[in-house]
Amino acid sequence: TQLRPRLAQATRLVAISQATREDIQLVFPELASRTVVIPNGVHDLFYQPPSPDQLSVLAANGVDVNHPRILYVGGYAEHKNVRVLIEAAARVLPEYDAELVLVGAANVPEVLALVRDAHLARRVRTTSRISRGALRAWYACATVFAFPSRYEGFGLPPAQALAAGVPVAAAQTAAVEEVLGSAALWAPADDIGAWVANLRRL
| DSSP state letter for 28 | -
- CA angle at residue 68 from 63 to 72, to 5 degrees? 80
- pLDDT given at position 61: 84
**Amino acid present at 32:** A
- pLDDT tens, position by position, 157-196: 999 999 999 999 999 999 999 999 999 999 999 999 999 9
- pLDDT tens, position by position, 76-126: 999 999 999 999 999 999 999 999 999 999 999 999 999 999 999 999 999
Chain mean pLDDT for the chain: 95
- pLDDT tens, position by position, 31-75: 989 999 999 999 999 999 998 988 988 888 889 989 999 999 999
- pLDDT given at position 1: 63
Q: Rounded distance, CA 104 to CA 127, Å?
A: 5
The share of the chain scoring above pLDDT 90, in percent, equals: 86
When pLDDT is cut at 50, 70 and 90, the band that residue 9 belongs to is confident
* Helices within the chain (DSSP H only): 3-8, 18-27, 52-60, 82-96, 109-117, 132-140, 156-163, 174-180, 192-201
Q: Rounded distance, CA 195 to CA 86, Å?
A: 10
Model confidence pTM above 0.85: yes
- pLDDT given at position 108: 97
Angle between helices 82-96 and 109-117 (to 10 degrees): 40
Q: Rounded distance, CA 176 to CA 185, Å?
A: 12
| Contact call for residues 166 and 184 (beta carbons, < 8 A) | no
- pLDDT tens, position by position, 66-75: 999 999 999 9
